[in-house]
């Protein structure tokens, strides 16, 4: 499959590495142009590209850049990309920690619905509710007991199925998160966010989410991360996330 990945940070870079290793034709890009990503592309066996070249002719596009950067992409970026090509949004909104305030999101608009409006086309929400270390190191073969899960939300059944196949391919159980309007259930500080749950527990966590509760919990994260100290382990971070929304 031809896969374009815009953004080579913790999530985008890990996906690029895994998908290139699996034999896909991967093109990587970021806002700084092809030369900026060339060393990484050469390291993993991908092709360096600018954003337009990354999406041109792709069978799947993965957007893994912060929300403010999405708003700055060319409005016609996907003009020539067929409607059937899935576009994956992996982003999360962290106002006050990384991102400037976005009025529509502060008013309660679902993050990936906002992304869809910025891009002018539907998106699939995935890979936003897993920690980077989990994605990098904790993937397991299909059928492994306790295999970690990733939620996938979207409106196009065929696009969602393709993305769920990618989730499985990189080592995780895909869990259907419902339509895009329900993807708030996997946003930061919801019960299913970055808690290293298996598929059964992830489904339970998505159902347990209460609309409107997560932003206040998300805004406590700086304090909670500070309390963990500079030597916090992966297990410490998972435990902290689980403590925000204990499951019965």
Residue 120, pLDDT score: 94
Residue 16, pLDDT score: 98
d(CA 227, CA 33): 38
Q: How confident is the model at residue 248 (pLDDT cuts 50, 70, 90)?
A: confident
Asked if pLDDT for residue 97 goes beyond 80, the answer is: no
Pairing label, strands 124-126, 47-48: unpaired
Asked if pLDDT for residue 96 goes beyond 90, the answer is: no
d(CA 194, CA 49): 30
> For 25-80, how does the pLDDT look when each residue is reduced to its tens digit (9 = 90+)?
999 999 888 999 999 999 999 999 999 999 999 999 999 999 999 989 998 999 99
> For 178-203, how does the pLDDT look when each residue is reduced to its tens digit (9 = 90+)?
999 999 999 999 999 999 999 999 99
Q: Which domains does the chain have, with CATH numbers?
A: 66-176 (3.40.50.720)
């Amino acid at each position: 499959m031809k896969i374009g990945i815009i953004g080579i940070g913790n999530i985008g870079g890990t996906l690029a590495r895994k998908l290139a290793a699996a034999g896909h034709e991967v093109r990587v890009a970021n806002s700084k142009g092809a030369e900026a990503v060339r060393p990484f592309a050469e390291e993993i066996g991908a092709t360096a590209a600018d954003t337009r070249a990354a999406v041109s002719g792709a069978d799947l596009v993965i957007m893994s850049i912060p929300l403010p950067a999405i708003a700055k992409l060319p409005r016609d970026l996907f003009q020539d990309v067929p409607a059937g090509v899935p576009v994956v949004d992996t982003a999360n909104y962290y106002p006050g920690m990384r991102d400037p305030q976005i009025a529509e999101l502060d008013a309660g608009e679902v993050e990936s619905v906002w992304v869809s409006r910025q891009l002018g086309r539907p998106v699939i929400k995935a890979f936003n509710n897993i920690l980077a270390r989990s994605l990098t190191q904790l993937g397991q073969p299909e059928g492994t007991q306790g295999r970690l899960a990733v939620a996938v939300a979207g409106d196009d059944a065929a696009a969602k199925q393709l993305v769920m196949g990618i989730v499985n391919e990189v080592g995780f159980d895909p869990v259907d998160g419902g339509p895009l309007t329900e993807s708030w259930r996997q946003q930061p500080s919801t019960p299913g966010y970055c808690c290293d749950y298996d598929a059964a527990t992830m489904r339970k966590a998505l159902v347990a989410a209460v609309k409107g509760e997560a932003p206040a919990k998300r805004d406590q994260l700086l304090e909670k991360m500070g309390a963990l100290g500079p030597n916090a382990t992966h297990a410490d971070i998972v435990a902290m996330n689980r403590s925000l929304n204990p499951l019965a």
